[in-house]
Amino acid sequence: GTSNSYFGYFAGYANTTACCGVFLGRYAGFNNTTGSSNIFVGSNAGYSNQTGEYNVIVGGGSGYAHTADRSVFLGYLSGAGNLGASGNSFVGAESGRYNETGTGLAFFGYQAGTRSTGDNNSFFGYQSGVANFSGSNNAFFGHQAGAANTTAGYNAFFGALAGTANMTGQYN
């Protein structure tokens, strides 16, 4: 590859033709082969990425399993389990941690959407949507808003603890 900057033990180890990447930290971007224009900062950040491009992944273990394009993960273990899902934004420690395939996601706050695999969700606040598993098309704003939601979709909860008892109810 060309025009790359790799700093850290085995950072960018597998690179073959990737261009314009910045990897900083132990094993950052370890498996990246052809994925260009990525920024991986932190121990194991972006570890599994091979071909995904235009990602910004910052935080220890953040984006560990991530293999897709155009995502932003900021915070310890944010997006760690994200596999082939592109275009997600997770900001906060453990936000979106176990998402594998959900797309169109915006999670901001500690453990926001940490278990979510649904699509098109926006969770903002400490542990908002923390238990959401497959629920899609939800908007939760506030401290633990929608925290118990597991499979329900099409809900909008605004304010601290709003909708915390709702698990499967839809269209609220």
Q: Is the pLDDT of residue 10 over 90?
A: yes
Across the range 135-158, mean pLDDT stands at 97
Across the range 24-30, mean pLDDT stands at 98
Across the range 118-130, mean pLDDT stands at 97
Distance CA 50, CA 37 (A): 12
Q: Is the pLDDT of residue 84 over 90?
A: no
Strand partners, 88: none
Distance CA 47, CA 26 (A): 10
Across the range 34-63, mean pLDDT stands at 98
Find out whether 97 and 80 touch, Cβ atoms under 8 Å.
yes
Report H helices in 30-139: none
Overall size of the chain counted in residues: 172
Amino acid code (one letter) for 80: A
Q: Is the pLDDT of residue 6 over 90?
A: yes
Across the range 123-136, mean pLDDT stands at 97
Q: Is the pLDDT of residue 16 over 90?
A: yes
Distance CA 48, CA 71 (A): 14
The model carries a pTM of: 0.95
- Give residue 114's pLDDT band: very low, low, confident or very high (50, 70, 90): very high
Across the range 117-143, mean pLDDT stands at 97
